[in-house]
């Protein structure tokens, strides 16, 4: 419970504003976001060079200070001191809403602990923008963000998510999209999926199909730009009948245990899962 004294203490400090920035098209910047960036005393930016381009475009002259994953532990106490002096600060990421892929969350939690007001401004966000145009069910949805880079990390997360009936939303680098789709095909099965890239930009593109379709496309075409990947949720009992939830290696081992030779087992598992024999061979022998 707040008493009158603590209520007054809160309002003599500055305010932390969480300001969304465009995910591509500069026209997505809101009037309010521009005004707040002009009025605050300081902008905490994920990348000051990237944010400076935005500030130059809108003729904003507010000074910046970096706040990113490599310096947030030392930077947050400094920002708190500024806020306690009564200075207001805006926090921005390189694109979209703060706190999704930057240390904004840690700053928010620190402000809440110190009873410093936190105000979030609405604005552009890639996940929801992609979801409502994807054609997949818009609700319920589960936003995950970036998967781990290592195969084992991805497998652990995807196995945890495979029973979800909500549409799954991921962010992914174009350089890792093929590998991620392979892991999804193995663990989630061949579900409906949508790959969105270059959202709100000139070359915006939505690729719709199955996970296998997207994997084939990514293996035969160069994917450019940051990607938003949406995967259909688990659709029901029928999916369980058609998708073997065992890993490819486990499936091969099961056939070997029944008397098949290794190469025969690998070929059978490849056919059953509609995959190339080399892919099953690679995963069976842990060649990643």
pLDDT digits (tens, 9 = 90+) for 77-106: 999 999 999 999 999 999 999 988 788 899
Regarding whether 221 and 141 lie in a shared domain, the answer is yes
Q: Where are the beta strands (DSSP E) in the chain?
A: 16-18, 42-45, 64-66, 89-92, 118-120, 141-146, 167-172, 192-197, 205-210, 227-231
Q: Tell me what pLDDT residue 278 has.
A: 80
Residues of the chain with pLDDT under 50: 1-10, 238-243
Q: Are residues 114 and 47 in the same domain?
A: yes
In a 3-state reduction of DSSP, which class is residue 21? strand
Q: Which residues pair with 159 in a beta bridge?
A: none
Any idea what the CATH number is for the domain that residue 82 is in? Answer: 3.40.1010.10
Residue 26 in any domain: the answer is: yes
Domain that includes residue 178, residue range: 126-231
- Residue 8 in any domain: the answer is no
Say if residue 181 is in the same domain as residue 252: no
Q: What pLDDT, on a 0 to 100 scale, did the predictor assign at position 135?
A: 94
Count of structural domains, the chain: 3
Distance CA 254, CA 237 (A): 23
Is there a domain that residue 243 lies in? no
Q: Are residues 217 and 262 in the same domain?
A: no
pLDDT of residue 240: 42
CB distance 90 to 34 below 8 Å: no
- Using CA atoms, how far apart are residues 230 and 224, in angstroms rounded to an integer? 17
Q: Are 157 and 202 contained in the same domain?
A: yes
pLDDT for the residue numbered 281: 82
Residues 104 and 142 in one domain: no
Largest pairwise CA distance in the chain = 77
Domain boundary at 120, 149, 175, which?
120
């Amino acid at each position: 419970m707040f008493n009158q004294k603590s209520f007054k203490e809160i309002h003599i400090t500055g305010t932390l504003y969480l300001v969304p920035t465009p995910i591509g098209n500069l026209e997505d910047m809101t009037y309010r976001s521009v005004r707040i960036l002009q009025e605050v005393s300081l902008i905490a930016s994920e990348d000051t060079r990237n944010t400076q381009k935005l500030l130059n475009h809108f003729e904003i002259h507010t000074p910046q200070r970096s706040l990113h994953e490599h310096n947030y532990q030392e930077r947050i106490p400094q920002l708190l001191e500024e806020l306690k002096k009564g200075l207001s600060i805006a926090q921005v990421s390189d694109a979209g809403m703060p706190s999704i892929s930057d240390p904004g969350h840690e700053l928010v939690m620190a402000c809440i602990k110190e009873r410093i007001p936190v105000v979030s401004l609405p604005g552009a966000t890639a996940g929801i923008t992609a979801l409502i145009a994807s054609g997949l069910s818009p609700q319920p949805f589960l936003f995950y963000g970036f998967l781990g880079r290592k195969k084992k990390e991805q497998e652990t997360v995807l196995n945890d998510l495979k029973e979800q009936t909500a549409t799954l939303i991921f962010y992914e680098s174009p350089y890792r999209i093929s590998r991620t789709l392979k892991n999804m095909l193995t663990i989630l099965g061949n579900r409906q999926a949508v790959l969105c890239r270059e959202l709100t930009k000139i070359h915006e593109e939505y690729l719709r199909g199955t996970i296998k379709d997207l994997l084939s496309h990514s293996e035969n075409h160069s994917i450019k730009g940051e990607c938003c990947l949406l995967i259909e949720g688990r659709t029901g009992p029928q999916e369980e009948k058609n998708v073997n939830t065992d890993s490819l290696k486990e499936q091969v081992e099961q056939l070997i245990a029944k008397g098949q030779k290794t190469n025969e087992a690998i070929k059978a598992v490849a056919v059953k899962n509609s995959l190339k024999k080399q892919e099953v061979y690679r995963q069976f022998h842990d060649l990643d």
